[in-house]
Amino acid sequence: MFRYKQIQPHYVQNIGLLELDLDPNATRVLVQNRNTQEVIWHGRVTSITVVTITTPLDYTVDANLTVTLFDDGKLDLPPQYNAEIIDRVQAALLGATQ
């Protein structure tokens, strides 16, 4: 049996949006819940240094995210730094006007 679900014309998904402008020297980025250390997102940094990540809605209410940038070295060059940590990051509500 099929059910028809009508969606409002201005429907907003309940997810957060985190846009990170990364250091070009970074090779990996890790986004975690700062209280539980749960990994929200982990990935490699490519030549594109602006990354957009979707998060659960909970992270749009409070600043409960920690973002860690790792520099493992690129193109056989030594790392410029070990890691950079940005604490108490809050995601934006998707579809919200600023």
pTM above 0.75, yes or no: yes
What is the model's pLDDT at position 93? 84
pLDDT given at position 79: 85
Rounded to whole angstroms, how far apart are CA atoms 77 and 67?
24
Tell me the pLDDT of the chain (98 aa) as tens digits.
566 666 565 655 668 899 999 888 888 999 999 999 999 999 988 888 888 998 888 899 999 999 999 998 877 788 888 899 999 999 998 766 55
* Helix, strand, coil tally for the chain in percent (to 5): 5, 40, 55
Are the beta carbons of 74 and 27 closer than 8 angstroms? yes
